[in-house]
Amino acid sequence: MWENVCFVSAVILVIYVLKKLISSEPSKTKYYFYFLLFYLYGSFMACIVCPFFLFNPKNVKNAAVGAWLIKPITKVLNLKWNLRNGKVLSKNEGAVIISNHQSSLDILGLFNIWGAVGKLAPVAKKEIFYVWPFGLAAYLAGVVFIDRKNTKDAYEQLKITSEVMVKQKTKIWLFPEGTRNKENDKLLPFKKGAFAIAVAAQRPIIPVVFSPYYFIIEKKYIFNKGHIIVECLEPVSTEGLTMDDVPDLMERVWNQMNQKYKDLMKEVLSALPPDYIHAFKDHNIATG
């Protein structure tokens, strides 16, 4: 009897979840299910690859394998990533890649364009390391973890990473905003770490701008299918610059990226139906 009750309850639950996923109406079930699916899938893949990563720990080539394995979840979440001007990422030299930070989905976007970058060592806050098994897999894949609360140790770690960037022609990826941007209509002020590292190593900065995640509205529990443009701007040279030039460099790159972010915002929003409910409805942004 209890077996039948459990079976019927499971069937009802599955039907209820599927109904919520198919529906275009806002739903807590759909919103949290998609994020949970992303996290669980990433953790599952981390469990699979960790034993293999142990044979060659902290090799950035491991990360490329992990990215290839996690990419398929993109289709399940109904997301489409479109890389523009990706040729600037493929040059065989060390560089500092910086991008805007909107959500944990940024890492999925990174996985989708990893093949265009080649050797890459992302930089992440140390708290992510303790999110096992994903954190352990990331560590074994060459991700650099820094303690943002301990500036001295963070800079020492980045200094070591910059040496790898120069000697092994590896690119490092940082989010200079330092935290997820919830302002939506513009980028947050940049922190100087990424720029100081680039200047110290005399390596170029490659700005990468993710278009707004208009399809996600946290307060309304909306997670619809979405199209994200990932546009690479032309590399910014740091040759001949000193630490005194860092503030001006930061401002110049921020202005370029912020303008591109606004341009991409207009582009993606103008392609939406007039009645589409998106995260920027209340910002009165012209799309014409």
pLDDT digit string (tens) for the chain, length 288 residues: 555 544 444 444 445 455 555 555 657 888 889 999 999 999 999 999 999 988 888 888 888 888 888 999 999 999 999 999 999 998 888 899 999 999 889 999 999 999 888 888 888 888 888 888 888 898 888 887 877 666 666 666 666 666 667 677 888 899 999 887 876 788 999 998 889 889 988 999 999 999 999 998 888 888 988 999 999 999 999 999 999 999 999 999 999 999 999 999 999 998 888 878 777 765 555 444
What pLDDT does 93 receive? 86
What pLDDT does 149 receive? 67
Domain-embedded: residue 14: no
Domain-embedded: residue 223: yes
**Structure tokens of 66?**
């992990």
Q: What is the dihedral of CA 272, 230, 99, 186, to 10 degrees?
A: -20
Domain-embedded: residue 2: no
Domain-embedded: residue 17: no
Domain-embedded: residue 117: yes
What pLDDT does 229 receive? 96
**Structure tokens of 25?**
């109406």
Question: How many domains is the chain built from?
Answer: 1
Domain-embedded: residue 211: yes
Domain-embedded: residue 131: yes
Q: What is the dihedral of CA 225, 110, 83, 26, to 10 degrees?
A: 10
What pLDDT does 123 receive? 82
Identity (one letter) of the amino acid at 48? Answer: I
Identity (one letter) of the amino acid at 9? Answer: S
Domain containing residue 125: 26-283
What pLDDT does 128 receive? 84
Residue 257, domain CATH? 3.40.1130
What pLDDT does 210 receive? 96
**How many other CB atoms sit within 10 Å of the CB of residue 115?**
15
Is 264 strand, coil or helix?
Answer: helix
**How many other CB atoms sit within 10 Å of the CB of residue 172?**
26
Domain-embedded: residue 13: no
What pLDDT does 8 receive? 45
What pLDDT does 29 receive? 82
5, HSE (Cβ side, Cα atoms, 13 Å): 2
How far is 68 from 148, CA to CA, in rounded Å? 29
